[in-house]
Amino acid sequence: MSRIFLSPPHMSGKEQQYIAEVFESNYIAPLGAFVEHFEKSICAYTGVKHAVATNTATAALHLALRVLGIGAGDYVLSSSFTFIGSVNAILYQNALPIFVDSDESWNLSPVLLQKAIAKAPKKPKALIVTHLYGQMAKMSEIMEICKNEDIYVIEDAAESLGATLREEQSGTFGDMGVFSFNGNKILTTSGGGMLVSDNAALIAKAKFLATQAKEDKPFYEHKEYGYNYRMSNVLAAIGVAQMEVLDERVRRRREIFDLYSQRLSAYDEIALMPEIHGSSGNRWLTTLTLEHTDPSRVIEALENENIESRPLWKPMHLQPLFKEALRVENGISQKLFETGVCLPSGSNMSDEDVDCVCKVMERVLK
């Protein structure tokens, strides 16, 4: 039996044709027509005004902090229940994270956010909020708090491309948003990211910094330091082809979630990740918690059948790396981590694959 992966790449079929066009143009470089096309297609899909394609979402987050003027000694609020890629950029800037725990949405708690702001030794300059597993965080409340407190909002929408809250796309609520096209995301370019904003000046500055901060001169002049963070035209060609099927991918991921939800509905101990009112997540991964069963038993039983599954993210405030970091916690993300499982959720999974996963789960849970 072939392995069922957690979230493998799912090509549209057009990728190689577009890559062939890149080779014909010979723009095998971190610039070219497909890079611009990819940026435009993200703008068209999400409704954001400006975008810059980067080699990773981690790089895009780093650029966001740089262009917003966050530096050494500044405090940056962050979802604690997230992946490390969300917060590494804070360290690159020698800034100080303050981790905010989750609420019943699994995402950042607006109540604890307010507490974290009050607790900070000096006013935090920015918040990085993650839409975990493709499900929307409470952006209305979060934006209101940050507007009142004059704090920049950066959305880590690495996992949530295509998710909406009141018909508005994730990544477009804050001052800046970030998407990832890493190998396991809903769309992939093998590796890649995108930084978006309605603010033209911020994106222009990010593009400049991502291109070694080279001044607009006929020779090489530099007034500040930059990075080599731009996306390859070859990979952008994959991205353009992937964007053409984004709606289909979201639809299928949501369908897989519904299949699991129906199949496992008899088990009272299972709680699936919720969806906040007015939102529609992309259901990047189907995730759930188990009230009585140790999740490692499910993960092991699946692995024995050559099926990949994983624990939920380990919260940042529990990471050895961040043992000194400030935090406002309530035990919720820790409990989620201790009781949760991510099930295989790739858009190229068949209904039969979902059935296989559920049969194994039923054996363990009974």
Name which of 135 and 280 has its Cβ closer to ligand PLP: 135
Q: What are phi and psi of 85, to 5 degrees?
A: -60, -25
- Contact indicator for 9, 16 with CB cutoff of 8 Å: no
Q: What are phi and psi of 307, to 5 degrees?
A: -120, 125
* Rounded least distance, CB 232 to ligand PLP, Å: 14
* Rounded least distance, CB 183 to ligand PLP, Å: 8
Name which of 56 and 135 has its Cβ closer to ligand PLP: 56
Q: Please state, in angstroms and as integers, the Cα–Cα distance from residue 366 to each residue in 1, 298, 336, following that order.
A: 24, 12, 21
CA separation for the pair 285, 328 (Å, rounded): 26
* Rounded least distance, CB 263 to ligand PLP, Å: 26
* Rounded least distance, CB 182 to ligand PLP, Å: 4
Name which of 56 and 282 has its Cβ closer to ligand PLP: 56
DSSP 165: E
Name which of 59 and 270 has its Cβ closer to ligand PLP: 59
- Contact indicator for 48, 196 with CB cutoff of 8 Å: yes
Q: Note the residues at the interface with ligand PLP (CB under 6 A).
A: 56-58, 82-83, 85-86, 130, 156, 158-159, 180, 182, 193
- Look at phi and psi of residue 195 and say left if phi exceeds 0, alpha if psi is from -120 to 50, else beta: beta
- Contact indicator for 158, 82 with CB cutoff of 8 Å: no
Residues in the chain: 366
- Contact indicator for 105, 335 with CB cutoff of 8 Å: no
CA separation for the pair 305, 295 (Å, rounded): 16
Name which of 156 and 175 has its Cβ closer to ligand PLP: 156
Name which of 190 and 262 has its Cβ closer to ligand PLP: 190
- Contact indicator for 239, 20 with CB cutoff of 8 Å: no
* Rounded least distance, CB 246 to ligand PLP, Å: 17
* Rounded least distance, CB 24 to ligand PLP, Å: 28
Name which of 196 and 361 has its Cβ closer to ligand PLP: 196
* Rounded least distance, CB 61 to ligand PLP, Å: 7
